[in-house]
Each structure stands twice: as C-alpha cells, then as structure tokens.
Chains A and B, each alone.
Chain A
Amino acid sequence: MSAKAAGATPPQYVITAEDLTKTYGDVTAVDGISFSVPAGESFGLLGPNGAGKSTTMKMIGGVAQRTSGSLTIMGLDPEQHGPEVRAHLGVVPQQDNLDEELKVRDNLLVYGRYFGLPMSYLRPKADELLEFAQLTDKAKSKVDALSGGMKRRLTIARSLINEPRILLLDEPTTGLDPQARHILWDRLFRLKEQGVTLILTTHYMDEAEQLCDRIIVVDKGRIMAEGSPASLIRDYSTREVLELRFGSERNASIAGELEGIGERLETLPDRVLIYTHDGEAALEEVSARGLRPLTSLVRRSSLEDVFLRLTGRSLVD
C-alpha cells in the first residue's frame, strides 16, 4: 500500500473498539469490550467457544452490525463504509467457504475479482500465493479433492489476494492435525514478519502463545485480562505447575492433604494442579507427605492456567 493510499497521516491504531456490544435478542454475545490494535501487531482474542470472539470478528470485518459502542478500522466505521473497510482486510473465516465447484487456482482469481483486480495482476499473483500456501501442484484440482489443512491454506491464500495489511483469522487451525497446524503457523508467522497486522481468535493457548504479541482473554462477551502472553502468565500464574493425578475418584478428597504446597491449588475432575515457582521441590514435598500420585508432571505455566485462574473454567470444554 502506498503512503498516499494509507492517508497522509497514517492512524496510530488500525482498529479501535470502544464499549463494543452485540446482542441477539436476549443474548448478549459481546458485552461492552474496548481495545485498540496498532499497525503490525499480532493481536489475539483468546476464549472458549461462545465467548463472543467470532461475533467481534464479524463486526470488525464489517459484516455484522453492532448493537452499541463504536468501532473504527483504518479510521473508518465499518457500518458506514463497509466496502472501504473490507477492501483493507483479508478474512479467514472459522468455516471454510471456498467455491468447491471451482478449481483451486480459479478460487483465487474469482476472489481477486471481487476487489476489482485485473487479470494481469491476478494470474501471476495467484501462482505466487499457491506457492506460498504450498499448493502449486494442486492448482488445477477441484477444491473438494483437498485435505482439511490444504483447504485452510487455500483460504488463507485467498485472503491475501488483495495484499491486505490487516488479516482477520477466526479459529484458523481448529480441526487440523498437529502437522497441518504447524505448517499454518509457519505461514502466518511469515506474514507477521512482513508487517501484516494479524487479528486472531483461538481457543488454543499454544496458538496464542506462538503467534500473538498481545492478547485479550474473553469470556461471556467480556474482557477478563489483557497483555502479552508472557505478562499474562506472570501476572496471573506462577512460573511452574505441578500436575498430579490420583484417579478421578480421589483427586478431590486428597486435595486437602496438599494444602500448603506451592502458592495455589486448583482441583479439576481429572487432576490437581499445584501452582509454584519450583515444581520439582513441590513434588518432593508431596512425596515427603507420603502421597503417591498415579502420575505427576512438572511444566511451565501457560495461558490455559491464566484462563483457569480468571474464570475457574478450562479453555477447551
């Protein structure tokens, strides 16, 4: 994008939301959230299913009307300037909506036409993007012949056809196997390195940690916490976690005997979590009390622990 296209004085924030609210009848999907995203940042919305992440993304993408609050993308209100806002964006929806009846390469060409891009630009661009998405050898295949991971990569390639400076990714790796997820993360990381602003929703903590500079933790339509993955873990958890399993019958009853070990104790149906700065020392203390867990694991704290601390619930139900 040229300096002229971006405006003489580029906005400090590419996205600004103030008290953004969306209700469907009696249900409040997004409940007065506020955030701002500067250009080039990878910004994540982390929360469980039904937290309001996708609804927020739809409002940012200029396809769902907000109930109240204000929202600007590149300084424009998406409800007043829908086509202008959407022309700035690349969108990867939660559910692939590729043209299954068209060939892989044609999907890119057709999508590029929606932006009024000429074929002289689109033909070589489609080939570049297929290479980027590692789909060059599938260019002439029908979309329904692709695997789930390939379809996802094609959807990402499609979202890049207009060279957007803001990419919205709604649960980009949900339903993919670990290998496909890692390939996708690699591609997204390259875009991030090239300065594309990534707005990402996920309920995978590892995804948020890998890709996001900053995160808002969302639950029931509200922001529970905000910060970088590291700062959230620092603020809401300890350095390490000791996970103990005594069997689903005994976890709750034995928790009382673990009191005083570590800084905090969390009892889940399938395990007991001890939050501590030194996991090994905590495990020794457990043994010293004569307790013999079926399994034990010392690990570093993650965003999952942050979410558990903030909401009392696990991220993935």
Chain B
Amino acid sequence: MTEPSFAKDLTAGPTAAPPLRAHSPEVSAAKARRWGAFYYAEQVLRVMKGYGWSIFLYSVGQPAAYLFAMGVGLATLVDTNTAEVFGGVSYIAFIAPALLISAAVMTAATEFTFPVMDGFKWRRVYYGPHASPLTPEQIAGGQIIAVTIRFLLQSVIYFVIVAMFGASPSGWGWASVVVATLAGLSFGLPLMAYAASIKEDKGQFAMVMRFIVMPLFLFSGTFFPLDTLPVLVRWIGWISPIWHGTELGRVMTYGYDESPVLTIIHVVFLLGLAWLGWVLTKRQFVRRMGQ
C-alpha cells in the first residue's frame, strides 16, 4: 500500500507545516475499545454546552423558586400546624431533599427520551459514531456518562441553594448530590431502554411525563410523608425511585431516623433499577444498530 499523500498535498505551499499524520487504525481501535464511551460523552457534553446557559438558569431558578414558594411560603402554614408530622424538622428541611431528587428525575425524563429518539430516528446522530470504531454499547454508555455529569452539576447547584436556605442541617448533606444522581439514573435508564425501543413517535414521551413522572412526583413522599397516604396508593411510593431517593436523601440531609434495613433497601432498589435499565438499554442499542 502506498503512503498517503493526501495530507501533504493539502498543506503544500510556501508556509507548509510538517505533514500531519493520524495514528494507525490499530491505535485508533485500541483507544476506542478502552475510552470509546468517554469519547461519545465528550460529544454529548459539547452539544449540551450549546444550551449551557439554559441548563444553568434552570438549575438555579428551579430550586430557588420551589424552595422559596414551598419552604418559605407554604411552610409558614405547615410548620405552625403540623410540625410533628415531619419528624420534628422544619417543612423546608423535609421537602428540600425531595425536591433535589425530583429535579434529577425530571431531568432524566428529558435527557433520556428526546435525545435518544433524535439519535435513532429524527436526526440519526447515533449512526455517525456507529460508523467509527465506537460500539453501540459505548454510544449508550457515553450518553449516560454525559447525563450523569449533568445530574451531578445540577444537584451540586441545587444542594448549595438548599444549604443557603439552611435546609440541610446534617454534615452528610452533600451526599444527597450522589443520591440524586443515582435516583436520576435509576429512573432514567429503564426509560432510556424504552425510548430506544420506540420506532414511531406517537406522543409516548408526553404520556410518560403525565402518567408516570407526575404521579411519582406527587405520591412519593415528596410534600408529605408516604405513610399519611391511604395504603391503597402507598405502593406508588414503594416502586418509585423518587421515594427511595428522597428517603435516602433525608437520611443524609437531616439524619432522618429510619431502620438501617430500609436504608439498605433504598440503595439496593436504586442500584438494581439502574443496573436493569443499563442491561436493557445496551440490548436495545445493540439490536437496533446491528440491523
């Protein structure tokens, strides 16, 4: 095989730099096998950077608005009447971890739906990297890494605002950032697998928002303890990543006193659902891109 003269030709001229050389295909393949998911994450983050200001304003505006409205406004009524219901902490301390976790889940509901449809169907952006050394698993993994970074950054901002409202008395409060990220993945990855299976957009994502995300948000012990609900609807909380995340968040932010077994169940539930979502997502990506 002859040496490529392409690069040389293009740089020819009086001020030509030394010819550029790409590393060999073998090196490309080895690097892609090792770091491919991170290469794709880089792409997703670059795209996110394009609407970075909107992400930032949402990340600051949403907690500020919610904490002020609920934690300051509504709390003036709640705290004076039924403070004992909330385990002896202020209402704002009670809802702050719930709002933090819910925000991550809401973000998951956007980041793991429309962009996935965009990748496979609308603008078919997954098929560009698919022709490169990256594998379908790495493309899925890269998107998850990028969204995880968004969860972390968004949750850090949220937590700082929570702390500014004085709503995280415990020294372990910062760990609620990790819990929020885990809850986002726990809800988001099964949703990503579902999004990857959709061939035709018939408004499924709007249905997910209305009939899954909103009920979970309202009935996951977010604004009042789950055990104040009738037993008949309490199951919504038990299967909800928001409830498991919120309870775990409360342990972190104000030392909510619950059985250690329950705490372990929360962690196992969140990890298990995220893992199941990842397995299903990988399978969908490989199946759909290998056709």
Interface of A with B (CB < 8 Å)? 1-6, 10, 24, 39-40, 61, 63-65, 74, 81-84, 86-89, 91, 93, 95, 97-102, 106, 110-111, 113-117, 121, 124-125, 128-129, 131-132, 158, 160-165, 190-191, 194-196
Contacts and interface: CB of A to CB of B under 8 A. Distances in A.
A61 B35 CA distance: 21
A147 B207 CA distance: 36
Contact of A128 (B10, B21, B123, B135): B10
Contacts of A89: 131
A114 B41 CA distance: 10
Contacts of A65: 290
A194 B20 contact: no
Given A39-B1, A128-B7, 20 more contacts: A63-B131, A64-B291, A81-B29, A84-B26, A84-B133, A87-B32, A87-B132, A97-B126, A99-B128, A106-B46, A113-B39, A114-B32, A114-B40, A114-B129, A117-B23, A124-B20, A125-B20, A125-B22, A163-B21, A194-B6
Interface in B128-174: 128-135
B22 A91 contact: no
Nearest to A3: B1
Contacts of A1: 1, 3-4, 24-25
Contacts of B65: none
B160 to A, nearest CB: 29
B127 interface: yes
Given A114-B133, A117-B22, A87 B5 contact: no
28 contacts: A1-B24, A1-B25, A2-B24, A5-B26, A61-B131, A63-B127, A63-B290, A83-B36, A83-B133, A86-B131, A87-B26, A87-B132, A95-B124, A97-B126, A99-B125, A101-B50, A102-B46, A110-B46, A114-B129, A116-B30, A117-B23, A158-B128, A161-B22, A163-B4, A164-B25, A165-B1, A194-B5, A194-B6
A5 B24 contact: yes
Contacts of B7: 125, 128, 163
A198 B223 CA distance: 63
A165 B46 contact: no
Nearest to B4: A163
Nearest to A112: B22
A124 B3 CA distance: 20
Contacts, number: 155
A128 to B, nearest CB: 4
B35 A110 contact: no
A5 to B, nearest CB: 3
A65 B2 CA distance: 31
A196 B125 CA distance: 26
Contacts of A128: 7, 10-11, 20
B51 to A, nearest CB: 8
A114 B4 contact: no
5 A-B pairs with least C-beta separation: A116-B31, A5-B24, A87-B25, A114-B132, A91-B131
Contacts of B50: 101-102
Given A83-B134, A117-B23, A128-B20, A97 B127 contact: yes
A116 B10 contact: no
Contacts of A2: 24
Contacts of A5: 24-26
A121 B6 contact: no
Contacts of B17: 124
A74 B1 CA distance: 11
Residue among A83, A88, A124, A162 facing the most chain B CB atoms (10 A cut-off): A83
B9 interface: yes
B4 to A, nearest CB: 6
A93 B131 contact: yes
Contacts of A115: 22, 28, 31-32, 132-133
